[in-house]
Amino acid sequence: MAQLDADGGRAAPAAHSHAIVDDHRHVIDMGRLDMNSRSAAAHVDDGDSGSAGSDDVPSCVVCTEPLEWVAIGPCGHRVVCSACAARVRSIPNPDHRCCVCRTICPTVVVTKVAAAEREIAFSTLPAASEDGRAGEYWYCAAMSAYFDDEQQYEATKEAVSRRRAQYIAQFWLRVFFASLLGVLIGSIFAIGSNFAIGSPDWVSSVGIVSGFTVFSVGLTIIFYFKN
């Protein structure tokens, strides 16, 4: 799962401690994380959600955009926006670990940042496995998330669906081009084989072309899912 530096790629001061949060060695500035947590708490206490132009507005530790909707897991961290949570927790590489502490979070609750300080009893959440209403929440199966707002649920579900459609289209496009490549290489070998024996052997030619096509497609699928 790709994580971004919370400072938008800028080098953090030497005095700040950092935590490695994924296999690609991207980091989250823990000093900024502490600042975001304090800012979020202050805004909840003041009843003010802040504005995008204020330095005190809490921001997502992944995309650094101001937090409006936040995803909360059983670990208690509440500094990742709903959009980033959707990207991380859905296909093609769903990762249900917390972006901060890497704790496995089977489910998350998406709520307004102003209401994020309330305690959430995950053990009492209604059981759900399909999209739709679940008690007082709406459940999105693609990211294993409960939403307390229907409009935000619908918007997120639509975004996840578009992402899924793009992923499937990209997969089949790669399979198509891999097939063409296999047919091309197989045809070259088949022509060379026929030239060597001095007469066309259609059965052998079809076998060679089919073999290269299957090999090319299989290799593409393996590397696609591996990456």
Q: Give the mean pLDDT of 124-144.
A: 91
Domain residue spans of the chain:
18-148, 162-226
Torsions phi, psi for 146 (to 5 deg): -105, 135
> In the numeric block, which tokens belong to residue 43?
């805004």
Angle at 125 between CA 123 and CA 129, to 5 degrees: 115
Distances (CA, A) of 85 to 61, 125, 199: 11, 19, 61
Pairwise pLDDT comparison (186 vs 117), residue with the higher score: 186
pLDDT at 43 over 60: no
Q: Give the mean pLDDT of 21-42.
A: 42
Pairwise pLDDT comparison (114 vs 28), residue with the higher score: 114
| pLDDT band (50, 70, 90) for residue 4 | very low
Pairwise pLDDT comparison (148 vs 227), residue with the higher score: 148
pLDDT of 58 reads 85
| pLDDT tens digits for range 46-77 | 434 333 444 567 889 999 999 899 999 999 89
Distances (CA, A) of 205 to 105, 188, 195, 212, 214: 53, 10, 11, 11, 14
Contact 109/123 with Cβ under 8 angstroms?
A: no
Q: What burial class does residue 18 get, using C-beta atoms within 10 Å of its C-beta: 0-12 exposed, 13-18 middle, 19+ buried?
A: middle
The percent of residues above 70 in pLDDT, for the chain, comes to 74
pLDDT at 202 over 50: yes
| pLDDT band (50, 70, 90) for residue 109 | very high
pLDDT of 101 reads 92
Q: Give the mean pLDDT of 197-208.
A: 82
pLDDT at 9 over 80: no
Beta strands in 160-210 (DSSP E): none
| pLDDT band (50, 70, 90) for residue 213 | very high
pLDDT at 209 over 80: yes
| pLDDT band (50, 70, 90) for residue 84 | very high
pLDDT of 55 reads 57
> In the numeric block, which tokens belong to residue 127?
């059981």
pLDDT of 57 reads 75
| pLDDT band (50, 70, 90) for residue 204 | confident
pLDDT of 227 reads 67
pLDDT of 150 reads 92
